[in-house]
Chain A
Amino acid sequence: MTAQPTAAPRPDTGPGDGPRTPVSARKNRVRRLSGGDLVVVTLMTVIPTLFVLVLVWFPAIASVLLSFTNWNGIGPLNQIKGIGFTNYVNVATNYPPFWPALRHNLTFLAVLFLIATPIGMFLAVLLDKEMRFSRFYQTAIYLPVVLSLALVGFIWQLIYSRDQGLLNAVLHTQVDWYGDPNYNLWAALVATSWRHIGYIMLLYLAGLKAVDASLREAAAIDGASEVQTFFRVVFPVMRPINVIVLVVTVIESLRAFDLVWVINKGRNGLELIATLVTANVVGEASRIGFGSAMATIMLLISSVFVAVYVSIVMREERQK
């Protein structure tokens, strides 16, 4: 993508092609920035950097630092007392919801990665075939992505409701899908997947459209079947998209929060790290240090995946 603009013919490359004055002015500009330009360029780099520092790095580092304190959110900053790793020890050994939450986060990751994402990719491959009404299917499958997860929670409430829900009416059961801790995680996962599939489908479809058609033709001439063509030719070519899909899946499963919060604030079988952080930090509880410790753990887990992603991207850049 980035190669295209630079490859485009530039009007000012040929000397004397255009009118004289603008060309010389332009050349001048390339060589030396005027005072005003320098200010603009400096501001353009400094301000976004500041934003990133203030809005991303400062809170992240502050959370890590706070996780070693017992701050309750009240009083001046100089009264904060460091307590070492006590919060981490408490999280791991003295907070019953933590391990279920971690397990639930991993379940989210596993289900989205092993079930929802492959389904989304499969649908993309089908829709890529230019079948009839493919635009309609595309829209229909993508529609849930437009809705916020909170809204998705409400929509599924209508299906899952114990007394008035569609599912119980069809199955003639009396299951409390959102309330029973044996089922509610899976119920939430179905609702999340419903949305996730559309997202992956769209991402992947965009990638498939960009695959050079001659590759497929060549494979077909060589006698490869549809399945072989996909796994041997198309899939490897789509490596960058595959990595993005993987990262999106990981991010989605780690930040799964809204839906579960709407259902029951992440209690009773639906604990997730993000809901525990919120329950501890936001509100009257104000266990800022304790909640920050869990946020830091989440940060570490996400960093692993970010590191993997960055290393893959870097390797690719180098290969080019």
Chain B
Amino acid sequence: MSRPSTEAQYLASLIPPSVAATGIGRRSLLRGALAGAGFLGASGLLAACGSGGSSGSTGATPQAASGTLTFGSNQSDAVPKQAYAELVTGFNDPNIKVTTNTVDHNTFQENINTYLQGQPDDVFTWFAGYRMKFFASQGLVGDVSDVWQNLNGMPDPVKAASTGDDGKQYFVPFDNYPWAIFYRPSVFQQRGYQPPKTLDELVTLSTQMQKDGLVPIAFADKDGWPAMGTFDQLNLRINGYDFHVSLMAGKEAWDSDKVKKVFDTWNRLLPFHQPASLGRTWQEAAQSLQQKKAGMYVLGMFVGQQFTKGADQDDLDFFAFPEVDSAIGTSAVEAPIDGFMMAANPKNEAAAKKFLGYLGTPAAEGIYVKSDPTVIAVNTGADTAGYSKLQKKAVEFVGGAKQISQFLDRDTRPDFASTVMIPALQQFIKSPNDIDGLTKSIESQKKSIFTS
């Protein structure tokens, strides 16, 4: 565009050509505005109709997978987004064109209900556990059991976590990461600490750390969910995996002695937790571990994201949450699985299933895991040669687990987890001595939610 040389020319350039061409009057402008408003209203209605009705092309199951396929991704951060792009490139099927729609991670999660009831992408990212089963039982996601017939190398606990209440599979697992107690080996070596095997040893070690001027257990719960991890660890050690599952399914009473024991034990450990946790994010707590101000941290392996790659990340290790009851042991591991689901009425079912089959292969998982050293591939056939020390240990740890739990907010109803458990656990952290009142309140809220 050339610059205007005079002021008049400049002012004239401000008028859009369409306006300049027609000598416009007040009347016609008004009419135009009204027509515009009417049009806006109408298009809004049209959009509403479009999102309400689902596409009718469901019965047509083409023999050969071809055509276009849409892939809904919640990996909005730069590094995983790039890894997903490589993942799609790696699919490399000349007949199928995959279009990826990336949505911000939190937005995707918050809008999942409307997303699934509108026109979801053929294949999209989601989580295993109750969060998957819930949508499966509502008929909002597609059955992928025939994809599973061709999936090799998936461990049984992983398959169980991908199976809906009706025994069919609705989920293709991709990667996971364990929850455990993370620490820096250099600190333990320097001070002569040993990873504790039992709860009493944990208390002894914590007392020693306090004497040495360290915060024994880093802790943060501003976001509301990290405390769920500690609750799960204690519950799995005190009451075991089966109790965890039925408690999360609403079949056990929250004011039972078993649950009270979990809170009691936690209360015993609370003086060793970093204070003022309700105003701290997990990233800040992880940094206090990274800066060697805190000795241990109960978190998922994503804690490694706060450590720089290389030597810093190599000086990060973990051990299983110590045994509380020898009859229960430490065989249950919490390792949330991320993966993929298929829309209930995909526009291109054959291609979607072919793509899902590819996503479950060790090769596909390998592409992604390479980009994020804080997760591991779920497929046992995955090539672990490029793994970091931490990843190798995680593979061993998760592989040795007899049972795998997901996470409190993935194993129970989302409404219960977010509107009851987050305030309840924060309440416990604030006033840890009123366990009877707290558990009674949780139980009565649970009843109102699970029976509605």
Chain A interface residues toward B at CB < 8 A? 40, 43-44, 47, 50-51, 54, 70, 72-75, 83, 86, 90, 94-97, 162, 176, 178-181, 184, 264-265, 267-268, 279-280, 282-287, 289-290
Complex Cα spacing A50 to B42, Å? 12
Complex Cα spacing A150 to B120, Å? 31
Q: Which of B66-74, B96-104, B107-115, B303-311 contacts A (4 or more CB under 8 A)?
A: B107-115
Chain B positions 348-386 with a Cβ under 8 Å from a chain A Cβ: none
Give chain B residues whose Cβ lies under 8 Å from the Cβ of A83: 452
Complex Cα spacing A97 to B418, Å? 12
Complex Cα spacing A264 to B279, Å? 8
Chain B interface residues toward A at CB < 8 A? 30-31, 34, 37-38, 41, 109-110, 112-114, 117, 131, 138, 140, 222, 224, 276, 278-280, 414-415, 418-419, 422-424, 426-427, 430, 441, 444-445, 448-449, 452
Q: Is the CB–CB distance between B415 and A267 below 8 Å?
A: no
Complex Cα spacing A44 to B427, Å? 54
Complex Cα spacing A75 to B116, Å? 11
- Pick from A47, A179, A283: contact of B41, CB below 8 A: A47
Give chain B residues whose Cβ lies under 8 Å from the Cβ of A54: 41
Q: Is the CB–CB distance between A284 and B279 below 8 Å?
A: no
Give chain A residues whose Cβ lies under 8 Å from the Cβ of B424: 96
Interface of A is mostly: loop
Q: Is the CB–CB distance between B452 and A284 below 8 Å?
A: no
Interface of B is mostly: helix
Q: Is the CB–CB distance between A162 and B415 below 8 Å?
A: no
Q: Which of B278, B424, B426, B441 has the most CB of A within 10 A?
A: B278
Q: Is the CB–CB distance between A282 and B110 below 8 Å?
A: yes
Give chain A residues whose Cβ lies under 8 Å from the Cβ of B444: 94
With known contacts A40-B30, A40-B31, A179–B280 Cβ distance under 8 A: yes
Give chain A residues whose Cβ lies under 8 Å from the Cβ of B30: 40
Q: Is the CB–CB distance between B34 and A44 below 8 Å?
A: yes
With known contacts A74-B117, A75-B138, A162-B276, A267–B31 Cβ distance under 8 A: no
Q: Is the CB–CB distance between B37 and A94 below 8 Å?
A: no
Question: What is the distance, in angstroms, from B427's C-beta to the closest C-beta of chain A?
Answer: 7
Residue of A nearest to B275 (CB): A176
Q: Is the CB–CB distance between A94 and B445 below 8 Å?
A: yes
Q: Is the CB–CB distance between B422 and A47 below 8 Å?
A: no
Give chain B residues whose Cβ lies under 8 Å from the Cβ of A290: 419
- Pick from A70, A179, A289: contact of B222, CB below 8 A: A179
Q: Is the CB–CB distance between B278 and A74 below 8 Å?
A: no
Closest 9 CB pairs of A and B: A179-B279, A284-B414, A176-B279, A283-B110, A285-B415, A70-B452, A285-B418, A176-B276, A268-B278
- Pick from B109, B441, B448: contact of A96, CB below 8 A: B441
Q: Is the CB–CB distance between A280 and B419 below 8 Å?
A: yes
Question: What is the distance, in angstroms, from A73's C-beta to the closest C-beta of chain B?
Answer: 5
Known: A181-B278, A284-B414, A287-B449. 12 other contacts (CB 8 A): A47-B38, A54-B41, A90-B445, A97-B423, A176-B279, A179-B279, A264-B278, A267-B422, A268-B278, A283-B110, A286-B414, A290-B419
Complex Cα spacing A181 to B278, Å? 9
Complex Cα spacing A10 to B201, Å? 94
